[in-house]
Chain A
Amino acid sequence: MLLKRFNRTQRLSHLFLMLTFLIQSGTGFGRLFITTDFGRSLCKIFGGYEAAIVIHFWVGILMMTGFTVHIVYLIKRIKRRDLVNSVMGPDSLVPGPQDAQHLFQRILWTMGMGSPPKLDRWAYWEKFDYWAVFWGLPLLAVTGVMLKFPLLTTQVLPGWTLNIAALLHRAEAILAASFIFIVHFFIGHIRPLSFPMNEAMFSGSVHLEEAMQEKPLWVERLKQEGKLEMMKAERPALWYRALYFVFGYSALGFGLYILINGIVYGRFIQLH
């Protein structure tokens, strides 16, 4: 039996973020590494050094539009009558004290001590993934706009803030890209429970046995509330599965291409 996990809006948001993030890392790291062969070949995909910044800026605007839409979506999802439960409850991504406990218990479990923690709908690493992007996006947007319009910025702020903005923009980009291309890809693809690919974000559903194993509290809660039958999902069509497998692996390949070359060529660029 398949259990519904992500609705269509959430899956579309993830797809949108995936595409824009990959374009931003392609154009951004292409320009950062422009003095090396890797950077030049990466920039060539997007039409060269000058075209890459135009794409980078407009895709950034698109990303921030998506972020605004997401904020509106969040505000709409909050139930005002049941404010505490909808913000701090188990269906929310807001971290709570139980997450620290789960983390501690899971670390012990990896070392062979005790049992794995009984997780609810969102695990602590999924919450971390979400909030990392959530604070990274506005930071990149603000510093990016500062660097795009230096004359306007320096009318308000002193000129040396541009040095800080450039540093922050690069450092946050490296942080985000390395986290996604190493940790997020490992959890989504290589981890035995999700190998060869965690399909939940594309098909929108997970297997009930899988959910019972990793998130027993969530399934129990659904059973108690009598929502389990409601959450039953259809099996995705074969053509659709083939499509998202190809797409997912293309994204994985592109990310690893940037990651590996970034590590290899990292010593040829300077970060200041």
Chain B
Amino acid sequence: MKGAMAVIRLAYHWGAFGFLIGAAVFLTIPSVPSWAQEEVTSKIYRYRERVATGYYEGYEVSPRRARAILETPGIRRDRFSIGASAAAVRIRTHLPDSHRGLKFYYRTTCIECHPGQARNLHSMRAGITCRQCHGPEPIAAINHYYSAMNTIRRHAYVCSKCHEGATASFSGFYVHEPPSTALSTRESFPLLFYTSWGMLVLLLGTLAFFVPHSFMVGFRELLDKTKAPESSVGKLANSVSHRIMGGIRKLFEKKKVPENEVDDAA
């Protein structure tokens, strides 16, 4: 019986040892063979890859009705709204190349014309550049039917590059979130505007009440020469504060004395 146990133990140890060696060897084999990675040199091929075929695809969805940002076709929401004929020239959200005909386009960078658009969580935290989502030239307008950024397929072409399993609802997250406290946000994203102002008022209101109130209570307690019993540090602090507060008290008392004398004299 003892001999059988020894054999089993030996077999177990060698088996475990062999398994570890095998695992170590297995891990050194590259898990993804190099031929699985394609090398793309053709610009046309790349462009075709990110533009829709125009045929209805399985992942495409009808645009959701409930959207936070209200859009009216032909009317730009800005300080000055523009008419329909001017909108046809100036509003570029439906063009196959949204920057078509712009002068000196190739000498400018994205944020020269779109200031502040790079200040979002995707670029600030993950270091994602404009073109990683919006694509290389030509950049199709966001509402162009074949555009990768069109909301009917944005989740499949753009979001799911990193967020595996992204849905159309998921792509409704506003990457270029408007400044939450700005007055213009009340029209473009009202819920964000009211949430942020609500929380700001709550924060400032709480601090504006409790900070002065606590400090005044503290000051009043100092004036009353309150004792912190039995703690030696407290006693020391009290003797120091007692002297300071005694001095302040004397100042007040000196002021009061002449007033009484005047009253008595009268």
Chain A residues with CB under 8 Å of chain B are 34-35, 106-107, 109-112, 125, 128, 132, 150-151, 154-155, 157-160, 162-164, 166-168, 171-172, 174-175, 178-179, 182-183, 186-187, 190-196, 207, 209-210, 213, 270-272
Contact = CB atoms under 8 A, between A and B. Distances in A.
Contact of A190 (B68, B165, B218, B234): B218
B230 interface: yes
Contacts of A168: 195, 199
B169 A110 contact: no
A196 B68 CA distance: 51
Contacts of B203: 171, 174-175, 178
B57 to A, nearest CB: 20
Given A151-B163, A163-B189, A107 B228 contact: no
User: How many of chain B's residues touch chain A, expressed as a range?
Assistant: 35 or more
B56 interface: no
Given A151-B170, A186-B215, A271-B180, A196 B192 contact: no
A186 B67 CA distance: 45
A17 B171 CA distance: 36
Contact of B218 (A112, A164, A192, A209): A192
A245 B230 CA distance: 15
B221 A175 contact: no
Interface in B184-205: 189, 191-192, 195-196, 199-200, 202-203
Contact of B214 (A155, A157, A183): A183
B251 interface: no
Contacts of A158: 64, 66-68, 169, 172
Nearest to B159: A159
26 contacts: A107-B216, A110-B219, A112-B220, A125-B214, A150-B173, A151-B170, A158-B172, A160-B189, A162-B173, A163-B189, A163-B192, A167-B192, A167-B195, A171-B203, A179-B210, A186-B214, A186-B215, A186-B218, A192-B228, A193-B228, A194-B228, A195-B237, A196-B234, A270-B119, A271-B196, A272-B179
Contacts of B171: 159
A209 B179 CA distance: 54
Contacts of A186: 214-215, 218
Contacts of A111: 216
B196 A154 contact: no
Interface in B205-235: 206-207, 210-211, 213-222, 226-231, 233-234
Nearest to A157: B169
Contacts, number: 138
A264 B227 CA distance: 36
Nearest to A49: B125
Interface of B: 64, 66-68, 119, 121, 124-125, 163, 165-167, 169-174, 177-180, 189, 191-192, 195-196, 199-200, 202-203, 206-207, 210-211, 213-222, 226-231, 233-234, 237-238, 241
B174 A160 contact: yes
Contacts of B219: 110
B177 A272 contact: yes
Contact of A187 (B170, B191, B214): B214
Interface-central residue, B171, B195, B221, by most chain A CB under 10 Å: B221
A182 B226 CA distance: 22
Nearest to B229: A207
A192 B222 contact: yes
B125 A179 contact: no
Going nearest first, the 3 A-B pairs with the smallest beta carbon separation are A159-B172, A171-B199, A110-B216
A269 B222 CA distance: 39
Interface-central residue, A110, A125, A186, by most chain B CB under 10 Å: A110
Given A183-B210, A207-B229, A109 B172 contact: no
Contact of A109 (B66, B125, B218, B220): B220
A193 B226 contact: yes
Nearest to A156: B169
A34 to B, nearest CB: 7
Contacts of B231: 196
A164 B229 contact: no
A59 to B, nearest CB: 21
Given A154-B173, A163-B68, A272-B180, 8 more contacts: A107-B213, A151-B167, A160-B192, A164-B192, A182-B211, A192-B237, A193-B221, A193-B228
Nearest to A129: B210
